[in-house]
Structure 1
């Protein structure tokens, strides 16, 4: 038997979208479920735990993941799809690892990180809701032309990968495991 569980049956409602819904609904609901998973993995932790590094010399931490995903959401939705002038919030050419390096056990940093993440997710949700279709296109310096469909699929992949990291980080911190 594994140690303590982090999630209860109630939390499984994150993945309650009908499996036969239309494509937009499925993509939006799956992304929302992965965002909720990240929040659950971080729930109830102290500032020190959120900023705790995985395994030296790695700078990976739960708070770093929140900051990283805020910048990822910002890039794909604001910059590439909406065409806004939207430089990253936490990293950039002069500080490429700022999302993780700046993830420190300071309540103001934690509040700013969560606020940024929530703001970027809200922008992405609003953009997706008002898009005429999943074929809406944007331009990315790395990928070239891309569709809203591709961005939603990529974001699901991004969260799935990083939620795997979050699983291991959380278990290392307090033994909590779960879905």
Structure 2
């Protein structure tokens, strides 16, 4: 095996990397949607090839794990797109008022269905969000949020890119702790 030329090559072949293929010019909606899609694919990439190891925690006393991140992002997608923008009655899937950190705390290695359930929930929420964005008449669609007040689809898309970017940084470190894999 030849050694990689950069940290990024542990995960992807730079010649075939298509994850960041969104437009660099043109309309705002396609650009924001593409940036968000890139970050969603990055989270998937950071978790690729792992099963129960996804539940491995970072360091005590933290309950941060890759599985927790997938569960957390499923709840975040659900909150912003279903609850706030679409106005649906959509409580979080993995956390609650009684367990506000249930997305992380409940990501346990001894639950055999936890990984599949997390990915299923995340993919369902991403699919809803993608459909919502595609069908929205414009980026000025608004919804009410208890934390931020009135927010637009534009703001939510920017916030989601920021949310994924931050957590993908965590995912880098978590994955390296699991098997030494490093990269973009």
Query: Normalised by the shorter chain, which TM-score bucket?
Result: over 0.9
Q: 1:9 to 1:95 in 2, by over 3 A?
A: same
State the partner residue of 1:25.
30
State the partner residue of 1:107.
112
- Taking only aligned residues, the RMSD between alpha carbons, in angstroms, comes to 1.4
Of 63, 70, 75, which aligns to 2:67?
63
The 2-side partners of 1:22 and 1:158 are apart by: 22
- Tell me if the contact between 1:64 and 1:100 (Cα under 8 Å) persists in the aligned partners: yes
Higher helix proportion (structure 1 or 2): 1
The 2-side partners of 1:97 and 1:139 are apart by: 23
The 2-side partners of 1:10 and 1:140 are apart by: 42
TM-score, normalised to structure 2, is: 0.93
Listed one character per residue, the Cα deviations across residues 97-119 of structure 1 (whole Å, up to 9, x for unaligned) are 11001111233111111000000
- Tell me if the contact between 2:69 and 2:104 (Cα under 8 Å) persists in the aligned partners: yes
Residues 1:13 and 2:18 are matched in the alignment = yes
The 2-side partners of 1:115 and 1:158 are apart by: 20
Of 126, 136, 143, which aligns to 1:138?
143
- Tell me if the contact between 2:51 and 2:115 (Cα under 8 Å) persists in the aligned partners: no
Question: In the TM superposition, what is the alpha-carbon distance from 1:16 to its structure 2 partner?
Answer: 1.0
Relative to structure 2, which stretch is displaced further, 5-14 or 121-130?
A: 5-14
Of 159, 165, 179, which aligns to 2:170?
165
Secondary structure of 1:15 counterpart = coil
Q: How many residues align structurally?
A: 178
Of 67, 75, 81, which aligns to 1:77?
81
List runs of 5+ in structure 2 lacking aligned partners: none
Question: In the TM superposition, what is the alpha-carbon distance from 1:2 to its structure 2 partner?
Answer: 6.8
Q: 1:33 to 1:151 in 2, by over 3 A?
A: same
State the partner residue of 1:34.
39
State the partner residue of 1:174.
179
State the partner residue of 1:147.
152
Listed one character per residue, the Cα deviations across residues 131-163 of structure 1 (whole Å, up to 9, x for unaligned) are 000000011011111000000000000000000
TM-score, normalised to structure 1, is: 0.95
